[in-house]
Amino acid sequence: MADEEPILESVISDSEKKLDRFFRAAIKNRASDLHLKVGQPPKLRMYGGLKDTTGEVMTEERIEELVFEILTNVQKKLFLSQGTLDFAYELEKKDRFRINIFRQRGAISMAARRVESRVPQFEELHLPKTLEKIADRGQGLVLVVGPTGSGKTTTIASMIDFINQNRNCHIVTVEDPIEYVFQDKKAIVSQREVGIDVKDFDEALTYLMRQDPDVVFVGEMRESKTVTAGMRAAETGHLVFGTMHSANASQAVGRLLELFPQNERDMIRQNLSLTLKAIVSQLLLPSIKEKIDRVPVIEIMLANPQVRKMIAESRESDLPTVIRACQNEGMIDITENLCKLIKEGFIDPRDAFKYAPNPEELKMALKGIKTTASGIL
């Protein structure tokens, strides 16, 4: 199947939207994404790469017809005024897609990320047990960071569902758009979608504490107001989850501080050193194991006293050394994780070396030689 063009079925029922057959092709072929662009046939992202389908070449009129059919009047007005729009689409209350429509060179394009209808468990995602420790009780700020398409939202969804299964508590999420839909288990889960349930993130975060949450997910932390609200909630005894675009823990600290004016950064740094619980960094690599498409490569930094001291003293560059030295506490070094995945037959060594932060360190780790920032152990 990987060498053939995915077939786009031509028949749909009278009750379906015309775009549904494109989504069905994505589901049938276990694709992660669907792309529509003028002058190209529909494309599916499979095994990490884009692949043509048997569908017709898209015209501007055809894409507009397909996309506008699934938009509400409010969404259509927003898109026409802003030129871009994020929203979620559900197929038969089972399969969900996170969709972004945007203009490029004056024409409409669409990128749709397929979201599994069921929240996957840690084991299914090949995520480490340390995530259970992070999600289990306690308070503080938990950041899950990585590039676009690295599975950050799915990892947080798994952590939230773990809490949902094991704690009698109230979980509140603020999302744009909602991706995974949680069913109440031991916990009750209130999911607020920006633009539908609440006007914007600012309003949602303003009234967050009045909703008596125990656990909070505030989506992507790309503005100082979101970070401030998250840290304030963590300070007052809540467990707070957020995402950021960042390669690793040390870079995440720097990126977070850059959201604030220079004169506020020392205060934010001190607050972060006190409220941070963990930073989970991840990216997805193609798997060479049968029936596994991609596998996460993980770095986990837990906020122990050494980590807090490093952050407070502006020594983010020393954080990788602490992570390597404290792996017995549940921290995970990304180079050691790449080494483990190679030895267990999950990933191709060529991919591992391509994405390794330091290929020489990975080469030595594969030979059983451990290193620190200052040299060989």
- Of 115, 130, 164, the residue at which a domain comes to its end is 115
Give the C-alpha separation, 20 to 217, whole Å: 30
- Note whether residue 14 is domain-resident: no
Quickly state the pLDDT bin for 32 (edges 50, 70, 90). confident
- Percent of the chain's residues with pLDDT above 70: 94
Distance CA 83, CA 245 (A): 23
Q: Is 183 in the same domain as 308?
A: yes
On whether both 133 and 80 belong to a single domain, the answer is no
Do both 173 and 232 map to the same domain? Answer: yes
**Amino acid, res. 212:** D
Q: What percent of the chain has pLDDT over 90?
A: 72
The pLDDT of residue 195: 77
For 228-240, what is each residue's pLDDT tens digit? 999 999 999 999 9
Asked if residue 311 and residue 162 are part of one domain, the reply reads yes
Contact by Cβ (8 Å): 158, 131: yes
Note the pLDDT tens digit of each residue in 213-226.
999 999 889 899 99
Q: Is residue 75 part of a domain?
A: yes
Pair (182, 39) in one structural domain: no
pLDDT at site 152: 94
- Spatial separation of the C-alpha atoms in residues 267 and 278, rounded to whole Å: 19
Question: For position 372, what pLDDT does the model report?
Answer: 56
CATH number, domain containing residue 275: 3.40.50.300
Q: What's residue 179's pLDDT?
A: 82
Distance CA(31)–CA(14), nearest Å, equals 25
Per-residue model confidence as pLDDT tens digits over 122-142: 999 999 999 999 998 889 999
- Based on the fold, state whether residues 45 and 170 are members of the same structural domain: no
Total structural domains within the chain:
2
Domain termination site, one of 77, 99, 115: 115
Which residue range forms the structural domain that includes residue 328? 122-376
Sign of the alpha-carbon torsion through 21, 22, 26, 29: positive
Query: Are 264 and 308 contained in the same domain?
Result: yes
For residues 196 and 49, membership in a common domain is answered with: no
Domain boundary among 84, 115, 146: 115
In a domain? residue 109 = yes
361 and 241: one domain? yes
Indicate if the pLDDT at residue 163 is higher than 80.
Answer: yes
Q: Is pLDDT at 377 greater than 70 in this prediction? A: no
What pLDDT digit, counting tens, does each position of 253-305 carry? 999 999 999 999 999 999 999 999 999 999 999 999 988 889 999 999 999 99
354: CB partners within 8 A, 6+ apart:
none
DSSP-derived 3-state class of residue 132: helix
Asked if residue 116 has pLDDT above 80, the reply is no
